[in-house]
């Protein structure tokens, strides 16, 4: 017959061994291995209970009850240790992820507006303040909108292949933003006041002051009774908003789509600089869009954004605007 005291001693030894192993475990994975080891069907407790068959039948319930006490005690230690390990893991994670809000943040370089974009924004802000609407149009144009509707004669030099970039399908890359004026007038009845920014293209040799791709801004106003005096007043207000109190002069010039026409200069840093071209809208242009030139008159003006930006920021070479050199762009 098996000895009851011997089985109880084995159970006590298992409990002591399990308690010590659980206390020394330092991870949830290790704790799970101990649970399987001591609480599983192949663990030491079932092996001890296997010897109950040799006990006196009256002693077996006592050993069974003692075995259950050991299992409950081991399970209690497992649960308590699991709670402690989980709490420690959470505290470690919180400590690792804690953000000290008093520490200075990681600096990120702030983006800046490109000098061309800032110049366009500055100009449009002025004209929007004068009541103008901003309009845009396609960069690929037809001969009609780029030339014919703007009163360019068939033999005008600007139609020459050396100036205009023609496409295989007969269209072209617009040489100025004036086609948008035609499109806007076709879609809107007077009175109109519109400012047109955009990219333009010409076959040109790139150097310090020329580029095959450049930006323009044009304005157009059409209403009853507009005169050259209205044009001069508008140009004066615009240039003084842009440059401050400067001397301005108008010189006679020629453009196919305006008559009379003028070039406008400002005295900047002691010398005269040509800034823009302007004039009264030619009656033929008004007729092309269905406006009655006996009722309506209009004026227009246009200028290159690159030239304006170079003057305002004292840039010596137009190519600097396109090189994406951060050392240059960070100055703005």
Q: How far apart are CA 252 and CA 274, in angstroms?
A: 12
Look up tokens 């100025």; give the residue: 176
**Predicted local distance difference test score (pLDDT) of residue 35:** 83
Domain match, 125 and 88 both: no
With CA atoms as reference, report the closest residue to 183 among 223, 229, 148, 135. 135
- Are residues 152 and 200 located together in one domain of the fold? yes
Same domain, 202 and 68: no
Comparison of pLDDT for 58 and 16, the residue scoring more: 16
Between 62 and 136, whose confidence is greater? 136
Per the DSSP assignment, residues forming a β-bridge with 258 are 255, 281
Tokens 């205009």: give the residue: 164
Contact between residue 179 and residue 145 where contact means Cβ atoms under 8 Å apart: yes
Residue 109, domain member (yes or no): no
Q: Is 204 in the same domain as 230?
A: yes
pLDDT score of 327 more than 70: yes
Domain carrying residue 229: 115-329
Tell me how many domains the chain contains. Answer: 2
Higher pLDDT, 157 or 313: 313
Do the domain assignments include residue 103? no
Q: Which of 147-151, 220-224, 300-304, 308-312 has the lowest mean pLDDT?
A: 308-312
Residue whose C-alpha is closest to residue 243's, from 331, 159, 144, 312:
312
| CA atoms of 222 and 193, how far apart (whole Å) | 7
How high is the pLDDT of residue 285?
96
Contact 243, 235 (CB under 8 A): no
User: Residue 274's CB: how many other CB atoms inside 10 A?
Assistant: 13
Question: Given a cut of 60, is residue 2 above it in pLDDT?
Answer: no
Least confident range from 51-60, 61-70, 261-270: namely 51-60
Residue 56: pLDDT band (50, 70, 90) is low
pLDDT class for 73, splitting at 50, 70, 90?
confident
**140-144, 240-244, 326-330: least confident range:** 326-330
Both tokens assigned to 210: 């020329």
- SS3 state of residue 127: helix
* 102 within a domain of the structure (yes/no): no
- Higher-confidence residue of 118 and 105: namely 118
Q: Which of 19-23, 88-92, 160-164 has the lowest mean pLDDT?
A: 160-164
Give the pLDDT confidence score for residue 241 in this predicted structure: 94
Question: What is the C-alpha separation between 96 and 135, in angstroms, rounded?
Answer: 55
Residue 296, pLDDT score: 97
Domain's final residue, options 97, 132, 166: 97
Quickly list DSSP for 188-199: SPSSEEEEEEEE
Residue 1's pLDDT band (cuts 50, 70, 90): very low
Helices assigned H by DSSP within the chain: 4-24, 28-39, 44-49, 60-97, 115-129, 143-146, 178-187, 228-243, 283-288, 305-313, 326-329
Residue 286 covered by a domain:
yes
Mean of the per-residue pLDDT values of the chain: 88
Indicate whether 52 and 169 sit together in one domain. Answer: no
Residue 66 has pLDDT above 80, yes or no: no
Dihedral angle sign, alpha carbons of residues 69, 71, 73, 75: negative
Answer yes or no: do 155 and 237 share one domain. yes
Q: How confident is the model at residue 182 (pLDDT cuts 50, 70, 90)?
A: very high
Query: Does residue 162 surpass a pLDDT of 70?
Result: no
Residue 91: the pLDDT is 86
Q: Which two tokens stand for residue 188?
A: 């809107």
Give the rounded percent of residues in the chain with a pLDDT score beyond 70.
Answer: 94
89 and 136 belong to one structural domain:
no
Structure tokens at 147: 């030339």
Q: Which of 3-17, 290-304, 308-322 has the lowest mean pLDDT?
A: 3-17
Task: Count CB atoms within 10 A of the CB of residue 44.
Answer: 18
Write down the pTM of the prediction.
0.66
* Residue-wise pLDDT tens digits, 165-181: 999 998 999 999 999 99
pLDDT exceeds 50 at position 329: yes
Closest to 73 in 3D by CA, of 4, 18, 6: 18
> Which of the residue ranges 64-68, 168-172, 231-235 would you say has the lowest mean pLDDT?
64-68
For residue 104, tell me if it sits in a domain: no
Do 245 and 141 sit in the same domain of this protein? yes
Measured CA to CA, the distance from residue 138 to residue 94 in angstroms comes to 56
């Amino acid at each position: 017959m098996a000895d009851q005291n011997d089985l109880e001693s084995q159970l006590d030894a298992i409990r002591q061994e399990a308690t010590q192993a659980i206390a020394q475990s330092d991870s949830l994975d290790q704790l799970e291995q101990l649970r399987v080891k001591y609480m599983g069907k192949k663990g030491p407790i079932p092996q001890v209970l296997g010897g109950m068959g040799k006990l006196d039948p009256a002693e077996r319930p006592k050993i069974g009850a003692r075995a259950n006490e050991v299992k409950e005690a081991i399970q209690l230690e497992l649960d308590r240790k699991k709670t402690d390990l989980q709490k420690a893991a959470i505290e470690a994670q919180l400590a690792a992820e804690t953000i000290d809000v008093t520490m200075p943040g990681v600096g990120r370089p702030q983006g800046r507006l490109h000098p061309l974009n800032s110049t366009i924004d500055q100009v449009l802000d002025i004209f929007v303040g004068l009541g103008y609407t901003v309009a845009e149009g396609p960069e690929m144009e037809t001969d009609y909108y780029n030339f014919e509707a703007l009163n360019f004669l068939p033999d005008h030099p600007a139609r020459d292949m050396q100036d205009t970039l023609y496409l295989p399908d007969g269209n072209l890359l617009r040489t100025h933003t004036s086609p948008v004026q035609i499109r806007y007038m076709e879609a809107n009845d007077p009175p109109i006041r519109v400012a047109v920014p955009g990219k333009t293209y010409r076959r040109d040799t790139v150097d310090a002051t020329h580029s095959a791709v450049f930006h323009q801004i044009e304005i157009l106003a059409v209403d009853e009774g507009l005169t050259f005096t209205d044009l001069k007043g508008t140009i004066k207000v615009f240039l003084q908003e842009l440059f401050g109190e400067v001397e301005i002069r108008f010189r006679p010039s020629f453009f196919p789509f305006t008559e009379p026409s003028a070039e406008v200069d400002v005295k900047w840093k002691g010398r005269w600089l040509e800034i823009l071209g302007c004039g009264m809208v030619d009656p033929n242009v008004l007729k092309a869009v269905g406006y009655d030139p006996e009722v309506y008159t209009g004026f227009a003006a246009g200028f290159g954004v690159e030239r304006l930006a170079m003057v305002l920021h004292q840039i010596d070479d137009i190519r600097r605007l396109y090189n994406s050199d951060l050392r240059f762009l960070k100055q703005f």
